[in-house]
Amino acid sequence: MADVTPELYLEVQNFLFREAMLLEEARFREWLAFFTDDVRYVMPVRRTVQPPPGGRNEPEEVFSLFNDDKASLTMRVQRFETGLAHAEVPPSVTQRLITNVLVDPDTDRAEYLAHSRFLVHQVRGGRLSYTFHGKRRDRLRREGGALKIAERRIELAQTILPTTISIFF
């Protein structure tokens, strides 16, 4: 972390906390502004098979629950705003914990990699509740002096999921 100052670390941590707050408050238009125009937002599926000897059971890019760009994220937000996103009628109540934040410089790209762990609790329709937990890797870049997410990779720890995942991580 030689190139990561305490000020930069706090800036990244506050950026991630503010992003979580926007999602919890359903301020999706403001949330979209946290992303670069060329963003990739990916959540690969974790396979539950025996890894090869010496291998790890990591999510693969073969199939993803989310594989979005800025246009598809915007379209998802617009769909929420129509009131026709049936999985979100009434809108879910969510709470997010973002923790274990680490920041590394990505010297090849003049960007930063922010690693974090998360716990997201979702209550749907006041009856169903789900808790998601896992880790994220965000590639952050400065645009106009502000940090923005150029890539987010979400890895859920669990493999048994509800039939519909309609929230953002």
**pLDDT at residue 13, rounded to an integer:** 98
Domain layout of the chain by residue ranges: 6-156
Q: CB of 115 within 8 A of CB of 128?
A: no
| Model confidence band, residue 106 (pLDDT cutoffs 50, 70, 90) | confident
Nearest CA among 166, 149, 132 for reference residue 46: 132
| Model confidence band, residue 45 (pLDDT cutoffs 50, 70, 90) | confident
What is the model's pTM? Answer: 0.87
Q: Report the topology of domain 6-156.
A: Nuclear Transport Factor 2; Chain: A, (3.10.450)
Name the maximum alpha-carbon separation found in the chain: 49
DSSP string over 92-161: PEEEEEEEEEEEEEETTTTEEEEEEEEEEEEEETTTEEEEEEEEEEEEEEEETTEEEEEEEEEEES-S--
**pLDDT at residue 47, rounded to an integer:** 67
Q: What is the mean pLDDT of residues 7-36?
A: 97
| pLDDT at 30 > cutoff 60 | yes
